[in-house]
Every structure is written in structure tokens, then in C-alpha cells.
Amino acid sequence: MILLGILAASKSSAAVGVAGYFAGGYTGSYVSTVDKFAFADDSRSTLGTGLSSARGTTGTMSDSSVAGYVAGGSVNVATVDKFAFPSDSRTTLGTGLSSGRRQLTGFSNSGVAGYVAGGSDGSNFDTVDKFAFPGDSRTTLGTGLSSATRLSAGMSNSGTAGYVAGGLASDEVSTVDKFSFSDDSRSTLGTGLSAARQALTGFSNSGTAGYAGGGETSGFNSDVDTVDKFAFPSDTRTTLGTGLSSSRADLGGMSNSGVAGYFGGGYTSGSTTSSVDKFAFPSDTRTTLGTGLSSARKHLRGFQNETV
């Protein structure tokens, strides 16, 4: 009986994610920093090996228990860095993005493929590049985003679909595009964001809901504290009663599915922040970590090593 109890506890423990990462960003200049938050206690360390070059506004994706990826970014590079779990050692893929660009987003079908969507090199892209796991070979989807867009949020319901929410086309948009993982076909949700906005970010409680937080509604210094939640599989939208601890944009997101999601950094009223807000699943109650980022910065992005 005791042995069965120990086994059950071990299985329960194994279902909890390992760590989340906030990569790159801008502090007055671009940085290569990668901060790691251990999910067991939310303690922060900084990887000895950061990105292969200082940059921000990347697209990120995760193959849980295997690796996290940081793709593209300023200034318009096609580079894709891969961080192997659990060592956190970094390599750079031989095949990068189909073109160099910044201000993109990513989502993942963990164990199968990661996707990098949209972005800009001065002109916006509707491109969606797909990297097949574990070989990391790249293809480009025949059907891209419903409009050429940058500064969107990515979310994932692993095994089912990925989502690209909001962003900046010719103006801010509220559109949410959904890509079915079975065939990579795209549809657009009937209900989009609660308001059109850019420079937002997302995280996911896979199998349950995706979240799109922060952003700007009409350009610089119009940042909001809004967090919209899309329930899986219905894709119905609600807006959390408690949003971010401050209105901010160009932040990063990461998640420990079944446990909590995290929004980190960004800028509020033009000033950068090191704050990391944690939203506990399923209540969506918010706390702010006692230890934030290693430096206040914007233009960062997140990935995670979780169990999905």
C-alpha cells in the first residue's frame, strides 16, 4: 500500500512541467539573455549560454521535454536557436526561417512540429513556417495568415490546433486565425479579441484554454492590462476579471499546462519592467513573482519545458 502511494505521488509529480524561459529583449540595446524559471518554486536563474546573437521580437516554439526554439527577430534575421532540455545547451539550426524577419510569433504541436508566423522586414508577412520535430526540417504552409500581420500572439492546443491572435496589419486587428494540426488548414474565429490590439503575447493551458494578454490598442503608450481567454475546444472568448498587474505591451508569455501561465516584462507608459505575473489554472487568479526578470526589458518572448 505504501509502495502504491509512492508510485502515485511519483506519477503526479512527473506530470508537472519543469521550467519556463524568457529569451532576448531590449533594455536600451538588444540582449541575448535567457532567464529560466523553475516551475517547482518559480526561482530564477540565467543561462550561461544565451541566444547566438542579441535580439528581440522573435518567434518561439516548444517541443516539451525535448527542446525550445527562438526564431528570427531584430534585426531581420532568419536564425533559429535551439535549446536542448534538460541541459539547456544551445545549437543553431542549419535551416532557419524561409526569410529574415522580426516581430513574429510562434505556436507548437508538441512532439510533432513548431510554427513561426507573420512578422516584418519593413513589410508585413502572412508566412507560416513549420519545423517538423525531431529532425527540425522546415516547410512553409501553402495557406498563411488571413492577412499579413506582425506583433501577434501565439497560442496552442497541442494535438488539435494553433492560434494567432491580433497584431498589426495596416492597423491593429482583433482577428484570431486557427490552424488545425491534422492538415494545417486555416479558419478564422467568429469571435476575435475583445479589442483590436498589437504587441500582445499568449500562453496556453493545453487542452483547456489559450490566453492573449496585454498589447496596444492604438500605437505607442496605448497599452492595456487585458487578458482574453479562449476556451478549448469551443473557442468561446471571455475576458478575465483580473488582468495584468499593470498595463503593458511587448511582453513575453510561457506556461506550465495544468498549473499556471506567466506574462513577463514588457513596457508600460514607455518604461520597461521586470515584473512576472503568474495566473494559476483553473481559477485564473493572479500573483506577481517576488523575483522577476534579471533585467527590465521589452521585446522578449517565452518558451517552456512542460508536460502536455
pLDDT at residue 215, rounded to an integer:
98
pLDDT in tens, 263-300: 999 999 889 999 999 999 999 999 999 999 999 999 99
pLDDT in tens, 39-90: 999 999 999 999 999 999 999 999 999 999 999 999 999 999 999 999 999 9
Better pLDDT: 128 or 12:
128
Whether the predicted pLDDT of 16 surpasses 80: no
Q: Can you give the three-state secondary structure of the chain, one letter per residue?
A: CHHHHHHHHHHHHHCCCCEEEEECCECCCECCCEEEEECCCCCEEECCCCCCCCCCCCEEEEECCCEEEEECCCCCCCCEEEEECCCCEEEECCCCCCCCCECCEEEEECCCEEEEECCECCCECCCEEEEECCCCEEEECCCCCCCCCECCEEEEECCCEEEEEEEECCCEEEEEEEEECCCCCEEECCCCCCCCCECCEEEEECCCEEEEECCECCCCCCECCCEEEEECCCCEEEECCCCCCCCCECCEEEEECCCEEEEECCEECCEECCCEEEEECCCCEEEECCCCCCCCCECCEEEEECCC
Task: Give backbone dihedrals phi and psi of 32, rounded to 5 degrees, phi first.
Answer: -105, 5
pLDDT in tens, 198-207: 999 999 999 9
What superfamily does domain 2-305 belong to in CATH? Kelch-type beta propeller (2.120.10.80)
Whether the predicted pLDDT of 2 surpasses 90: no
Q: Once rounded to an integer, what is the mean pLDDT over residues 178-205?
A: 98
pLDDT in tens, 209-264: 999 999 999 988 899 999 999 999 999 999 999 999 999 999 999 999 999 999 99
Q: Once rounded to an integer, what is the mean pLDDT over residues 17-45?
A: 97
Whether the predicted pLDDT of 6 surpasses 90: no
Q: How far apart are alpha carbons 275 and 245 in whole angstroms?
A: 9
Taking the domains of the chain in order of start, what are their residue ranges?
2-305
Within its chain, how far is the Cα of 133 from the centroid?
18
Within its chain, how far is the Cα of 102 from the centroid?
15
pLDDT at residue 270, rounded to an integer:
83
pTM, whole model, 2 decimals?
0.94
pLDDT at residue 308, rounded to an integer:
64
